């Protein structure tokens, strides 16, 4: 990861969508899955043109994913 302190991020470089995760910040599989799910919502936002990073639509989707998969909001 390029940005210190981030455990994961989503971005676009040269027209290529990506999700990066920090190996040192995601030691447990459940934490890794939670962070990837979080970034996948941002990817979806990008594809659908939703520019409110953690706005109401993000929060609704996050709540559904956490409930479905039993993910901790603290790691999401």
Q: DSSP letters of 40-69?
A: HHHHHHHHHT---TTSHHHHHHHHHHHHHH
Q: Are strands 16-21 and 8-13 parallel, antiparallel or unpaired?
A: antiparallel
Confidence band of 75 (pLDDT split at 50, 70, 90): confident
Q: How much is the average pLDDT of 44-73?
A: 95
**pLDDT at residue 1 above 70?**
no
The reported pLDDT for the residue numbered 48 is 96
**pLDDT at residue 41 above 60?**
yes
**pLDDT at residue 65 above 90?**
yes
The reported pLDDT for the residue numbered 69 is 94
């Amino acid at each position: 990861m390029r940005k210190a302190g981030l455990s994961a991020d989503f971005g676009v470089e040269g027209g290529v969508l990506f999700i990066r995760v920090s190996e040192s910040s995601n030691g447990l599989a459940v934490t890794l899955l939670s962070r990837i799910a979080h970034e996948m919502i941002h990817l979806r936002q990008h594809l659908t043109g939703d520019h409110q990073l953690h706005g109401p639509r993000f929060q609704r989707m996050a709540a559904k994913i956490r409930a479905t998969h039993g993910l901790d909001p603290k790691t999401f």
